Amino acid sequence: MAKCSRCDTRKARRRCPALGSDICALCCGRIRGKDIHCPAGCEYLARHAPYQEKKVLERRETPASGSAPRKREPALDDRMKWILFSVEATLKEIADRNAAFNDKNALLACEYAKDKLAKGERRLILPGETLRPGNAAGEAVYLTVSRCRFERTALIAGMAEPYSLEDRTAAIDFLIRTIKGLARDRWEGRTFLDRLSEMFDRKAGPGGGPKLITPA
């Protein structure tokens, strides 16, 4: 059996569609979704995605020596999961309609929505500030997060709970951190968006329910 094209040490037991060559299982795990942009159809990406997501969720990051401790992500209750799920659904819909929509566009859309939330509908122009060009994706995210209401199954129709500005801003901040963590400066790719699509595909299967991508 040929050696891994990546480390040239271990036996190459897996075909990597992104590299177009055979690699070992260890190198596959090390570079999968990090150093290379794995296609959504890769059998190893799909097989190990649930484990990777669980690992990210449970990870407790250790700060570098001399640096301030990093804040852990707060536990997400059902209310926050619902608003995040709603915004993620909007981003997925945009990405499905436009193949050119990438992680950078998703980040800019979220930042646009956060900026508009902070300024309110009036969008006052402050001295030294210029009005940003329109951002259709950002407007869609803003409308979603602004209009979202939490609907418990036990609630009477028409009694959905509204979200505060703080809740909406926290949800957008969470997604911004998530996109940055997954994109890792590869902004022209669709690492975050591909993961988003996989999440929704699994939601449609047995045991489905709102699932979220967490910051890496």
Q: What is the mean pLDDT of residues 22-31?
A: 88
Which pLDDT score, from 0 to 100, does residue 216 have?
46
Per-residue pLDDT, averaged over 32-48, amounts to 76
Q: How confident is the model at residue 81 (pLDDT cuts 50, 70, 90)?
A: confident
User: Which band of pLDDT confidence, cut at 50, 70 and 90, is reported for residue 143?
Assistant: very high
Q: Provide CB contacts within 8 A for 85, sequence distance 6+.
A: 210, 211, 212
Does residue 109 sit in helix, strand or coil?
helix
191 CB-side CA count, 13 A: 24
Say if residue 180's pLDDT is above 80.
yes
Q: How confident is the model at residue 208 (pLDDT cuts 50, 70, 90)?
A: very low
- Read off the tokens for 170: 């926290």
CB atoms < 10 A from the CB of 153, how many?
4
The pLDDT score that the predictor gives to residue 131 is 42
Phi and psi torsions of 118, nearest 5°: -65, -35
Averaged pLDDT of the chain? 77
* Residues 68-99: b if buried by 16+ CB within 10 A, e if exposed: eeeeeeeebeeebbbbbbbbbebbbebbeeee
- Provide the pLDDT for residue 213: 52
- Rounded to 5, what percent of the chain is helix, strand, coil? 50, 5, 45
Round to whole Å and give the CA distance between 216 and 181. Answer: 5
Phi, psi (rounded to 5 degrees) for 22: -95, 140
Whether the per-residue pLDDT at 19 is higher than 60: the answer is yes
Q: What is the pLDDT of residue 96?
A: 93
Give burial (CB, 10 Å; 0-12/13-18/19+) of 35: middle
| C-alpha torsion sign, points 86, 184, 181, 196 | positive
DSSP designation for 189: S
The owner of tokens 């596959």 is 28
pLDDT of residue 126: 47
Please, which pLDDT band fits residue 207 given cuts at 50, 70 and 90?
very low
